[in-house]
Structure 1
Amino acid sequence: MKVMVAVKRVVDYAVKIRVKPDKSGVETGNVKMSMNPFCEIALEEALRLREAGAAGEVIAVSVGPAQCADTLRTALAMGADRAVHVDSGTVPVLPLSVAKILKALVHVERPGLLILGKQAIDDDCNQTGQMVAGLLRWAQGTFASKVVLDKESQTATVEREVDGGIETISLDLPAVITTDLRLNQPRYATLPNIMKAKSKVIKKVTPAELNVEIKPDLEIIQVTEPPKRKAGAIVSSVDELIEKLKNEAPVPDYSAAEAAPDRLQELLAFDATKSGVKGLADAGITKLPRIFVHSPDDLPSPPSLAGLKVPVIDLRGVADDARRRREAVEQIRDASSSWGLFQLVNHGVPPQILEGMMQGSRRFHELPKEVKAKLYSRDLKQNVKYVCNYDLFLSGAANWRDTLSCNFSTTLNPQDIPDVCRDEILAYGKHMLDLAESVYELLSEALGLSPSHLKSINLSKGHFMSAHYYPPCPEPELTLGTSKHCDPSFLTLLIEDELGGLQVRHEGHWVDVSPVPGAVVVNIGDLLQIISNGKFKSVEHRVLANRLGPRLSVAMFFVGVREGNYLYGPIKEILSENVAPKYREILLEEYFQVFASRGLGTESILSHFTL
């Protein structure tokens, strides 16, 4: 059974829309265009149906000017088998005309299923899917959040959200389905597929060849900018911000299911202070500002499992005692495959280096706010910066944490590191790199490889540090220090003070990672799970907020080399006829683009890269 998918070329959702000076429409010249996000979901669902054996050929169709070919090549790179471009030239095509064109193409291609996004983000107003279903006299399932095809009975079962619950409907094929955001997470096209798509032939037809008249029935008289929002103001001090948050931003009642209309203004005002959460704590707030209040579903519900303990592995003697090394390798193999997190003691990093790093971090975070503000930045290319919540404008709720970060790249100028912690950071970075290389040797052996294998593919290159500071929180039961997440790294090495608060997800329960004096916590990251073909486990972890504090921790993330075209995928030496790869090969830049588009507290992104 063929599946036809309609894809539309629109102004990229991240672009600020500008109206033309003559108010005749929206400016599209020199503006980034992309596939409509809902169309991406429709295409992804068609590809998944094909991969599951429920459907056959996937045909992508786009209606519009010549530039629509770029959108169709994106569809081909994602996995579509064929592409058809209906070239409308410069004539505007309204939803009814698109529906008529799709009806004509259906008679040519004879698909058993037509899938569209529920709407385009520009001007179709959620009409096209319903119109084409009416013209074809086909059954329709709109706003699908789940689709199941039954080839034997030639039916489609569609789940969709309605007021008060979930509605399930059964459709006789052929049918039209429109997709909701909840249906799936679209894949990213791989570099090899992008290159292949450039040479594929796109079939081109015109509306006239399909006997469709596209002359618009409507005339656009004028397009205007939406009125400027008057709410919101830049505050001049932390004290003024605190006063506004206290009096104008009470903690929301989640039972009312009412969105805070001025949340963005509150985030902007908070960010503009450049004082972080420490500025709020220093101001003596007693109520948590609502931008930090998490949904009850995300907050800890005690008790967590108290009986389980995170593995603690002793590295004493592993360098020169073969028996001890075998024991350590076995322990690391077990911990990496079942827990994804463990603690190392007798690891060789001098205690004064660890303590010095913690004290240096504390000295920086407790500098006057005016001094720290000079380093406050959200510029990802800045090697040394201070920030509160890198995902402040992405996440559903902010975390109670400030961070000093340092990227140990080839362009790092040591003089950019604040002098109150410069020596400590440089020394810590050197010792953590040495420890990471030792851990990589043990992990290599745990995979049955030579000790140098993981180092040989540059996993210890490309590392950055995050020194976190968690001030005392007035209402820790309403927020988190760090939301649940898996690490965007191959390996993460972390030290923490005695206050605790780190938790790891194990067998469906949150388990406390009790601080061990002098220990280094090791996290398996997403990227190591990919190249180990799932033998090692990237695990969710989080940090609880606390009335006590401050809590200090310093994480070193080893992320490999992002530049160039090196592809990372399951290590070939651990694959066989009986062990197939679970993940596709990816560029690191592809992984980090997906990660950067999501805030903490969201689900793992590894499903983007599974085969």
Structure 2
Amino acid sequence: MSSALPIIDISPYLRSEPVDIAARKATSEALHAACLNFGFFYLSITEFVDTAVPEELTTLARTFFALPQEEKDKLSLSNQDNARGYARLKENVTNGKADNHEGLDFYRPVESPDKSKPLWGENQFPDLPGFRDKYEAWVEKMKILGLIVMEAMAIGLGMTPDEWTELRNQVDDSFWVMRAIGYPPLPENSDGFSCGAHKDYGCLTFLYADPTPSALQVFLQQPEGSTAADTTGLPVEQGAKAGAWINADPIPGCVVCNIGEMWEIWSNGLYKSTLHRVVHRSSNYRVPFFFEPNFDAHVKPLAAAKRIQGADGAPERRSVVYGDFLLAKVGNNFAGGKGRYDD
């Protein structure tokens, strides 16, 4: 298996007329292979968005993170539900170590906000010209892209139209998350990470990053008997696995996409949510969008995945209600040294 992450062109699913069935099939097959082998891939979106738009988002993020600390603290997570708002440098912890980044987090707005309830507060936007409008416009674009990629993946998995409709009903009101993240350079000889090794816990992540190389690293497991091994920085429970870290450097016109733990359940283990980490030696700004299931979605193994596995396939994964799963993950963020990605 190649160690280079595949580049997948989603454009056949962007064109409604004429529909190129063969091209869509090829895209779906490429997505299926990428999810089986990597859990990570590049998604070419040049026909979907003007590449100047995400550049504007990172410029706005850079402007916000350059503000005086007291100005940024006015949007502190503690003002709301400890999930929406600004997190200081090293405020979050992964695998027992402080992450060397600061962030500004937004979630899908909720009815009847109540900041005393985890995840149920209100988003906090900086008072910077154009910030809210441009970030909310990007959210709308990424929600559309999420549904497009989900449909393409459903076809790649062999789902019937009725099965796709049922799955679509679980993600059509996505409880999305949007982040702006600022990474100062790691101190020399640091044994920490800008963001420690973790898996994303939702559905699909679309990451736009500035051109800094060798920052995002993906852990690829190697076949049994392989001598390749670089397990530095892995969570303790993962450290015995043979594998190696590869760079997922930004490619112009693409977002980096990876699948989260919900796709592990939907695919009954066929697809794996892949460990990744961030190691920055220079300043960097990233804008990840997390396309997630609906808050009340009942996520369970899909019949199409079990058809692929056959009667003697893998044991059925435990189903979850996404909102309950999410609350268990982030309901106590930043409290008592527990991090966003810790179990």
**TM-score scaled to structure 1, two decimals?**
0.45
Q: Distance in 2 between matches of 1:560 and 1:485?
A: 19
Q: Which residue of 2 aligns with 1:315?
A: 10
Q: Distance in 1 between matches of 2:5 and 2:102?
A: 26
Q: Which residue of 1 aligns with 2:24?
A: 325
| 1:542 and 2:287 matched | no
Q: Calculate percent identity across the aligned residue pairs.
A: 27
Does structure 2 retain, via aligned residues, the 8 Å contact 1:437–1:455?
Answer: yes
Q: Which residue of 1 aligns with 2:203?
A: 490
Aligned amino acid, residue 340 of structure 1: G
Cα distance, 1:325 vs structure 2: 1.1
1:518 to 229, 248, 253: 253
SS at match of 1:480: coil
1:205-259: CA deviation from partner (whole Å, max 9, x where unpaired): xxxxxxxxxxxxxxxxxxxxxxxxxxxxxxxxxxxxxxxxxxxxxxxxxxxxxxx
Aligned amino acid, residue 492 of structure 1: T
Q: Distance in 2 between matches of 1:390 and 1:471?
A: 11
Q: Which residue of 2 aligns with 1:341?
A: 40
Q: Distance in 2 between matches of 1:528 and 1:594?
A: 18
| 1:591 and 2:325 matched | yes
SS at match of 2:98: coil
Q: Distance in 2 between matches of 1:515 and 1:476?
A: 25
SS at match of 2:288: strand
Aligned amino acid, residue 81 of structure 2: K
2:316 to 575, 582, 591: 582
SS at match of 1:349: coil
Aligned amino acid, residue 435 of structure 1: L
Does structure 2 retain, via aligned residues, the 8 Å contact 1:358–1:552?
Answer: yes
Q: Distance in 1 between matches of 2:168 and 2:247?
A: 31
Aligned amino acid, residue 423 of structure 1: D
Relative to structure 1, the CA distance from residue 426 to residue 525 in structure 2 (aligned partners, 3 Å threshold; closer, same or farther) is: same
Q: Distance in 1 between matches of 2:317 and 2:172?
A: 18
Q: Which residue of 1 aligns with 2:287?
A: 554
Does structure 1 retain, via aligned residues, the 8 Å contact 2:205–2:290?
Answer: yes
Aligned amino acid, residue 298 of structure 2: L
SS at match of 2:329: helix
SS at match of 2:253: coil
2:218 to 497, 500, 504: 504
Q: Distance in 1 between matches of 2:315 and 2:329?
A: 22
Relative to structure 1, the CA distance from residue 382 to residue 589 in structure 2 (aligned partners, 3 Å threshold; closer, same or farther) is: same
Cα distance, 1:379 vs structure 2: 6.4
Aligned amino acid, residue 554 of structure 1: V
SS at match of 2:181: strand
2:68 to 359, 368, 371: 368
Does structure 2 retain, via aligned residues, the 8 Å contact 1:401–1:469?
Answer: yes
Relative to structure 1, the CA distance from residue 498 to residue 448 in structure 2 (aligned partners, 3 Å threshold; closer, same or farther) is: same
Aligned amino acid, residue 217 of structure 2: Q
Does structure 2 retain, via aligned residues, the 8 Å contact 1:385–1:404?
Answer: yes
Does structure 2 retain, via aligned residues, the 8 Å contact 1:409–1:463?
Answer: no
Q: Distance in 1 between matches of 2:274 and 2:149?
A: 18
1:56-104: CA deviation from partner (whole Å, max 9, x where unpaired): xxxxxxxxxxxxxxxxxxxxxxxxxxxxxxxxxxxxxxxxxxxxxxxxx
Cα distance, 1:544 vs structure 2: 0.5
Does structure 1 retain, via aligned residues, the 8 Å contact 2:107–2:123?
Answer: no
Aligned amino acid, residue 599 of structure 1: G
Cα distance, 1:578 vs structure 2: 4.0
1:153-172: CA deviation from partner (whole Å, max 9, x where unpaired): xxxxxxxxxxxxxxxxxxxx
Does structure 2 retain, via aligned residues, the 8 Å contact 1:483–1:600?
Answer: no
- Output the aligned Cα RMSD: 2.8
Does structure 2 retain, via aligned residues, the 8 Å contact 1:441–1:452?
Answer: no
SS at match of 1:344: strand
Q: Distance in 2 between matches of 1:385 and 1:495?
A: 20
Aligned amino acid, residue 23 of structure 2: R
Q: Distance in 2 between matches of 1:437 and 1:519?
A: 17
SS at match of 1:386: strand
Total equivalences in the alignment:
294
Does structure 1 retain, via aligned residues, the 8 Å contact 2:206–2:289?
Answer: yes
Aligned amino acid, residue 516 of structure 1: I
Cα distance, 1:394 vs structure 2: 7.2
Does structure 2 retain, via aligned residues, the 8 Å contact 1:383–1:409?
Answer: no
Q: Which residue of 2 aligns with 1:253?
A: none
Cα distance, 1:378 vs structure 2: 4.3
Q: Distance in 1 between matches of 2:21 and 2:286?
A: 33
The residue correspondences of 1:220-239 to structure 2 (distance < 5 A) are none
Aligned amino acid, residue 334 of structure 1: A
Q: Distance in 1 between matches of 2:12 and 2:303?
A: 31
Q: Distance in 2 between matches of 1:349 and 1:452?
A: 26
Aligned amino acid, residue 316 of structure 2: K
Relative to structure 1, the CA distance from residue 338 to residue 498 in structure 2 (aligned partners, 3 Å threshold; closer, same or farther) is: same
Q: Distance in 1 between matches of 2:9 and 2:295?
A: 33
SS at match of 1:454: helix
Aligned amino acid, residue 346 of structure 1: I
Q: Distance in 2 between matches of 1:416 and 1:586?
A: 29
Q: Distance in 2 between matches of 1:415 and 1:526?
A: 25
Q: Which residue of 2 aligns with 1:211?
A: none
Relative to structure 1, the CA distance from residue 346 to residue 568 in structure 2 (aligned partners, 3 Å threshold; closer, same or farther) is: closer
Note the residue ranges of structure 2 that are not aligned, 5 or more in a row: 114-120, 222-242, 333-337
Relative to structure 1, the CA distance from residue 380 to residue 397 in structure 2 (aligned partners, 3 Å threshold; closer, same or farther) is: farther
Relative to structure 1, the CA distance from residue 380 to residue 511 in structure 2 (aligned partners, 3 Å threshold; closer, same or farther) is: farther
Q: Which residue of 1 aligns with 2:139?
A: 429
Aligned amino acid, residue 315 of structure 1: I
Q: Distance in 1 between matches of 2:50 and 2:166?
A: 27
Q: Which structure is richer in relative contact order (CA contacts within 8 A, separation 6 or more)?
A: 2
Cα distance, 1:337 vs structure 2: 1.0
Cα distance, 1:442 vs structure 2: 0.6
Relative to structure 1, the CA distance from residue 493 to residue 472 in structure 2 (aligned partners, 3 Å threshold; closer, same or farther) is: same
Aligned amino acid, residue 249 of structure 2: S
Q: Distance in 2 between matches of 1:471 and 1:523?
A: 24
Q: Which moved more, 1:590-599 or 1:567-576?
A: 590-599
Does structure 2 retain, via aligned residues, the 8 Å contact 1:492–1:557?
Answer: yes
Q: Distance in 2 between matches of 1:569 and 1:447?
A: 15
Note the residue ranges of structure 1 that are not aligned, 5 or more in a row: 1-306, 606-611
Q: Distance in 2 between matches of 1:558 and 1:346?
A: 16
Aligned amino acid, residue 561 of structure 1: N
Q: Distance in 2 between matches of 1:390 and 1:453?
A: 41
**TM-score scaled to structure 2, two decimals?**
0.77
Does structure 2 retain, via aligned residues, the 8 Å contact 1:492–1:523?
Answer: yes
Q: Distance in 2 between matches of 1:457 and 1:581?
A: 23
Q: Distance in 1 between matches of 2:100 and 2:189?
A: 9
Relative to structure 1, the CA distance from residue 394 to residue 311 in structure 2 (aligned partners, 3 Å threshold; closer, same or farther) is: closer
Q: Distance in 2 between matches of 1:324 and 1:393?
A: 43
The residue correspondences of 1:261-300 to structure 2 (distance < 5 A) are none
SS at match of 2:77: coil
